[in-house]
Structure 1
């Protein structure tokens, strides 16, 4: 016979396919719908993963009673962390805040918040009055408090008047608790947060965007110095100062090129202006000032906006003698649309896809895959030398570079997903993941890139070098190419779904290594 559990009980809860996990009987979140068939179920908050799920009573055991027996049921680091958290919760529950804060009445929460603000205002006024008494006498005008006293506004509900009922809405900050997030089995405060105090105005987000170290624009890399580049005397424009664009422009400036920059967020341009760049107001202004303009933005849609959008490239009266180089990871169809528009106004076009990440962009060790106007490729050589360790010209056929890039991204994406699954399997099997990487580094499968991403996966360090959402976008473009050519890509399709799921879990802006989160799910 199953034991009766009540709200707040600490328990061991077991989901199908997982070891018993330390948790707490909790109030379900609005997103967690009750199961249709099961009757004797409890909503469980799982320590370590910070998620909620419905568990049947016969799969729940009292925590203290079964502690000695079940604490040995799993040896993973994530499990140990979950046990540490529940033990800490027993000693100091205030540290975890109110785990059932999602069920608080909005009216009550607002009134509590209002009372706190009024108390703070009152204490500030008293402090100001005491300071005024202690200070030398001043003109009457200066004796007034700097903060005017605002009469508290009473809510209609507290005055006995029935207020209009409010519709419950799902907050964009609310978490999905439909299952155990085993992908988050290694919780770190970098990616997750507990709230010590919850309020309507300051609800914590479950997934935080990782900090990205600022770019040191004045530091010239050793690699760039060794290249001994003779900069072209032409003027170059650059659209987009994102993760890749910033590093590329840094090397163009440090190698002596004259650069005009534009970015959707204008504040990013200020730092580049300090080291010699000229700022333009619109993409059209960049093209008019420059002889050759590079574009490196987020996706095909953004690339089209640079050309066809408001104040875009096509708003220039003429593109005669101008060159336009598209470095955004795009599909062949988008590249054809852009070349038709550019050449239609007398300009030259080159697609120059880039292989590499933030680190390679900053060091000037990218790989350039180019196709299109050969003369424009030659005119860009000093720039390509500053950006990359090699540039390949793949012919005049527009789309060749985009297709080559898609193929390479398929190989990279599938490899990362395989590595993530391998590490997850090793951890579940009780193997040391660091040992796995050490062995992998000595095998024919060894790759500096995979070893680096593997260490990031183990350490849950997802500072963005190559955004996960960009990899998923490239996989999607590759699938589109496969459809057009009637080429079956089952592994690519599966990998795309894995990256899509990682995006849904909140890791779109994290590094591609965060795909490991999905592998642990």
Structure 2
């Protein structure tokens, strides 16, 4: 039996497609839109309805999720000439799962409120594995009452779901997350590079260090991919670089110096110039052992 609330979902990429599958499996009526229809074909075959435009995905739906690439995409999808806020009905809830600018999240919140629409910024962490397993961490900003109503749906594809505060708070929290990943990824790559150059059995090294104080999600999940040469994206390098640049811009507004993430940006820019933008964040290993 289908739920009464209808959902629109815009952006069915690596993570978005898995989230839509969870919503379909939970018997929600879901309309999807993505720029390339063929990428949504599997979802359509599973029961999702195809929307020709973002407007169509938003119109008449109760909850509209977005998961697109860059802040410019978020702005276009929400407040462009044919944006969601032009077609979403009063009383609808829009939920941006994209990692984007906190200031943009606040702008969308204010514009939505003027139209009688509730807006939530809810960036996620956990990559392709978390999306597939329904165990994403979700960081939420917006009105608490709206979050409380939305929570049962977020729990369909998320596990660690925390309300962070007013609009933009979810995005600020995601910046904290990305800063940790950025500097930790350097450590993971340098550790693996050191082990290989020392002639160690890298599998045994990972067995020893993953369970101790040096353990991390990146080491356990992306370390093995690095060793196998698997650079396929759980999260695109170009999107991660975008996130770090947002973090630096926000830090500068707070007069906060972050040398670690500045180094990470330099390293990832080098890889972007070499054509790794559509590969995963673990491609950083190529800086050390290519």
TM surpasses 0.5: yes
Can you list the C-alpha shifts for 1:70-113, whole angstroms capped at 9, x where unaligned?
xxxxxxxxxxxxxxxxxxxxxxxxxxxxxxxxxxxxxxxxxxxx
Structure 2: distance between partners of 1:281 and 1:496 = 37
Q: How many residue pairs end up in the alignment?
A: 290
Among residues 251, 255, 263, which one is paired with 2:34 in the alignment? 263
Unpaired segments ≥5 residues, structure 2: none
User: In 2, are the aligned partners of 1:319 and 1:342 still within 8 Å (CA)?
Assistant: no
Give yes or no for the alignment of 1:460 onto 2:232: no
Unpaired segments ≥5 residues, structure 1: 1-229
Post-superposition shift, 1:232?
4.7
Post-superposition shift, 1:427?
2.2
Match of 1:412 in 2: 181
Distance 1:486 1:378, change over 3 A: same
More helix by share: 2
User: In 2, are the aligned partners of 1:240 and 1:295 still within 8 Å (CA)?
Assistant: yes
Where relative contact order (Cα < 8 A, 6+ residues apart) is larger, the structure is 2
Structure 1: distance between partners of 2:124 and 2:3 = 21
The alignment partner of 1:466 has SS state of: coil
Give yes or no for the alignment of 1:354 onto 2:129: no
Structure 2: distance between partners of 1:380 and 1:231 = 17
Q: What do you get for the CA RMSD once the two structures are aligned? A: 1.8
The alignment partner of 1:510 has SS state of: coil
TM-score of the pair, normalised by structure 2: 0.94
Structure 2: distance between partners of 1:231 and 1:367 = 26
Summarize the alignment of residues 369-408 of structure 1 with structure 2, pairs less than 5 Å apart: 369-395=139-165, 397-408=166-177
Post-superposition shift, 1:390?
2.5
Give yes or no for the alignment of 1:469 onto 2:234: no
Bigger mean CA deviation after superposition, 270-279 or 423-432: 423-432
Structure ID, larger Rg: 1
The alignment partner of 1:463 has SS state of: coil
Structure 1: distance between partners of 2:283 and 2:185 = 10
The alignment partner of 2:123 has SS state of: strand
Structure 2: distance between partners of 1:404 and 1:356 = 14
TM-score of the pair, normalised by structure 1: 0.54
User: In 2, are the aligned partners of 1:232 and 1:382 still within 8 Å (CA)?
Assistant: no
Give yes or no for the alignment of 1:430 onto 2:199: yes
Post-superposition shift, 1:310?
4.0
Match of 2:97 in 1: 327
Summarize the alignment of residues 44-83 of structure 1 with structure 2, pairs less than 5 Å apart: none
Structure 2: distance between partners of 1:433 and 1:334 = 43
Match of 1:273 in 2: 44
Post-superposition shift, 1:448?
4.5
The alignment partner of 2:278 has SS state of: coil
Summarize the alignment of residues 226-375 of structure 1 with structure 2, pairs less than 5 Å apart: 232-316=3-87, 319-375=89-145
